[in-house]
Structure 1
Amino acid sequence: MATIDDVAQRAGVSKSSVSRVLNGNFEYMSEEMKNKILAAIAEMNYSPNSLAQSLKKKKTKVIGIILSDISNPFWAEILKGAQEEANRCGYGIMVSSSNEDPELERDNILMLKSRQVDGVIINTIGNTNELFEEFIAKKYPFVLLDRLAGDMKADTVVVNNVNGAKQAIQYLIDQGHRRIGILLYPTNNKSPRIERLEGYKQALSMNGLPIDESLIKICDQNNGSGIQATQELLSMSDRPTAIFTTNARLNLEVLSGAKKAGLRVPTDVSIFGYDDFPWIPLLDPPLSTVAQPAYEMGVKAVALLIHRLESKKKMKPQIIQLEPKIIIRASCSSPVKIE
């Protein structure tokens, strides 16, 4: 294999001149010299040793991404955006999943850091704030994605979950619904869940409707309890005429629960879901949803981290909040009876 010394000898220049061309630094270099070096590189089929370069520069051009639960289809589109933005900027990515386990999240972060990734993007479970504080103190670059870490001041990319939920509930209220149930997983300091519940409550209050705790169902994340919770809501004597679900997995469980209860959607009960995927319009009926800009979230998180990595200026933490939008389909209609 050709070495940088071989290229320099072929081109009749110094190693430093070849190195400058390899790094795209053509300042103070004549066009003739640049072309001579490029020709020598091509002729000798020279490829720099990326590992050696990484060790020398103390940079690997690799970003670590830690997700709370990679099985959630929401993350596929985020990773697509992250991968494409990283490739565009000349970086690679390494991905791991914590399976909603705080100890595993910590292990994953430290594992990626030990492998010399230049920085990490973290969809945190919410129990590793002490580690993040250490990163801030040592100026190790990281970006929080989708979930906040308390009041920590760090680079962050999130969605306006309060507004997304408010829009969905407001649409149902405008259709004539007055009793609206909501299903969510335990909040456990997870900001998207807290914010979606807050948006639900705000929309009711803004319209002079009471917040009925019996219409708020907290579901077990691991055993498909959304089906049972839906049946419980729909068996109430004063049952809700609409249900808002706050998670991609709960979407299907609510539809299944309504079917098991012997009710038709949307004739007997309207359902408004969260997260939008290509298969959502294929459901029976097609589901109205709050669509999150997942691809853009991936792009923004990577761009923010790379900007932090490559900027020589001292920067304050940036918080990027993206807006969701509601998509109306056939799962919602006006209630048969308006109470």
Structure 2
Amino acid sequence: MANINDVAKLAGVSKSSVSRVINGNFEHMSDNTKNKILRAMKELEYSPNTLAQSLKKKTTKTIGIILSDISNPFWSEVLKGVQKECMRMGYGLMVSSSGEKEQIEKENILTLRNKQVDGLIINTTGKNTDLFNSLINEKYPFVFLDRSTDISNIDTVIVNNILGAKMSTQYLIDQGHRNIGILLYPLENKSPRIDRLEGYKEALKINGIQINHDLIKICEDQNGSGVEATKEMLALPTRPTAIFSTNTILNLEVIMGVKKAGLKLPEDVSLIGYDDYPWVPLLDPPLTTVSQPAFEMGVKSTALLIKKMKQKKQIKPKIIQLEPELMIRSSCLPPLK
């Protein structure tokens, strides 16, 4: 079996350079040198003894990620970004899901810590404040992803959801809509949902449109609730001429609800959704949506965590806020006169 000396000899570099690549320390190293070492490792089929390294350095070169709802297709794009950055930096990845349950989130955190992952990316339920404060006191590295909490001193990667909702609602207003409905899942400590409702309300206020609470539907966090909420909204005496859906699953359920109400998109009611995927333009009609930089969220949260893990001293937590984009397609028209 090849060893580190064989790799260094074939690549024409020092043993310490090979060691730096193995440990994911590419700072002050040229891409040419790094690629020579990686090619030599591949040619020699060299695999470092990660167990021995872990025992020596008390690290596992593995990070964990805890998602709130792994069934949401949004997270597959995020995970692609996380995986790419992990591979680039020489880290393994362990994935778990809380299913939006506070206790399961807590158990996942404790389990991954017991498996000695070097740090955590957490899409939090918005609860477990005592546990997070405990992790901070222990100086255990973790990063919040997509959701923030009232705890201010945590590194976080989020999207500007107020802006996403505001520009969606404004787009509908600019088309002439005044009765605009919004569908959300329960807000309870979920910052993206709270922010999307806030952005919706801000756009209405800016345009002098009174908020109609009958047009704000909080759906149960279960399959089919969006269909029923849409039908109820469309049965109002003054039904909405446009709907803003704030979640991938809700997007599809609103479309189904409109059909079950005997109406058509966008002739009878316009629709803007949240999140964008390759199949969204294939819907009938192609859906106007707010696109979130999911892949970039994964890359940046992983890079932020790894940087945090390598810090020798505590520094001020960093908040990275990414910008959404409105993808305009054919699901919106001016309201019927």
What does residue 81 of structure 2 align with?
81
The residue type equivalent to 2:19 in the other structure is L
TM-score (norm 2): 0.89
Q: Does 2:201 align with 1:205? A: no
Distance in 1 between residues matched to 2:261 and 2:242, nearest whole Å: 14
Distance in 2 between residues matched to 1:202 and 1:45, nearest whole Å: 58
What does residue 152 of structure 1 align with?
152
| CA offsets 1:171-216 (integer angstroms, 9 cap, x no match) | 0000000000000011011100100000000000000000000000
CA shift for structure 1 position 235? 1.1
What does residue 137 of structure 2 align with?
137
Q: Secondary structure, in 3 states, of the residue corresponding to 1:285?
A: coil
What does residue 245 of structure 1 align with?
245
Distance in 2 between residues matched to 1:224 and 1:324, nearest whole Å: 27
Distance in 2 between residues matched to 1:122 and 1:178, nearest whole Å: 38
| CA offsets 1:226-245 (integer angstroms, 9 cap, x no match) | 11111111111211100000
> For residues 1-339 of structure 1, what are the structure 2 equivalents within 5 Å?
21-23=18-20, 47-337=47-337
CA shift for structure 1 position 311? 2.7
Distance in 1 between residues matched to 2:318 and 2:44, nearest whole Å: 45
CA shift for structure 1 position 164? 0.3
| CA offsets 1:34-91 (integer angstroms, 9 cap, x no match) | xxxx9x9999976431101111101111110000010000000000001001111111
Moved more, 311-320 or 264-273: 311-320
Distance in 2 between residues matched to 1:323 and 1:41, nearest whole Å: 39
Larger radius of gyration, structure 1 or 2?
Answer: 1
Moved more, 44-53 or 242-251: 44-53
| CA offsets 1:139-167 (integer angstroms, 9 cap, x no match) | 10000000112243200000000000000
Distance in 2 between residues matched to 1:99 and 1:41, nearest whole Å: 40
The residue type equivalent to 2:172 in the other structure is L
The residue type equivalent to 1:299 in the other structure is V
| CA offsets 1:101-134 (integer angstroms, 9 cap, x no match) | 1111011111111111100000000111111111
Q: Secondary structure, in 3 states, of the residue corresponding to 2:143?
A: strand
- Displacement over 6 Å in runs of 4+: 40-45
In structure 2, the CA distance between the partners of 1:197 and 1:43, relative to structure 1 (3 Å rule), is closer
Q: Secondary structure, in 3 states, of the residue corresponding to 2:217?
A: strand
CA shift for structure 1 position 221? 1.1
Distance in 2 between residues matched to 1:41 and 1:174, nearest whole Å: 58
In structure 2, the CA distance between the partners of 1:133 and 1:43, relative to structure 1 (3 Å rule), is closer
Percent identity over the alignment is: 63
| CA offsets 1:290-331 (integer angstroms, 9 cap, x no match) | 111100000000000011112334311000011101011110
| CA offsets 1:11-31 (integer angstroms, 9 cap, x no match) | 9xxxxx957753469xxxxxx
Q: Secondary structure, in 3 states, of the residue corresponding to 2:109?
A: helix
The residue type equivalent to 2:141 in the other structure is P
Distance in 2 between residues matched to 1:320 and 1:41, nearest whole Å: 35
| CA offsets 1:224-265 (integer angstroms, 9 cap, x no match) | 111111111111121110000010000000011111111111
* Structure 2 portions without partners, runs of 5+: 26-37
The residue type equivalent to 1:100 in the other structure is E
The residue type equivalent to 2:306 in the other structure is I
Q: Secondary structure, in 3 states, of the residue corresponding to 1:110?
A: helix
The residue type equivalent to 1:252 in the other structure is L
In structure 2, the CA distance between the partners of 1:53 and 1:176, relative to structure 1 (3 Å rule), is same
In structure 2, the CA distance between the partners of 1:209 and 1:2, relative to structure 1 (3 Å rule), is closer
* Structure 1 portions without partners, runs of 5+: 12-16, 26-37
Distance in 2 between residues matched to 1:41 and 1:63, nearest whole Å: 23
Q: Secondary structure, in 3 states, of the residue corresponding to 1:266?
A: coil
Distance in 2 between residues matched to 1:202 and 1:310, nearest whole Å: 41
Q: Secondary structure, in 3 states, of the residue corresponding to 1:252?
A: helix
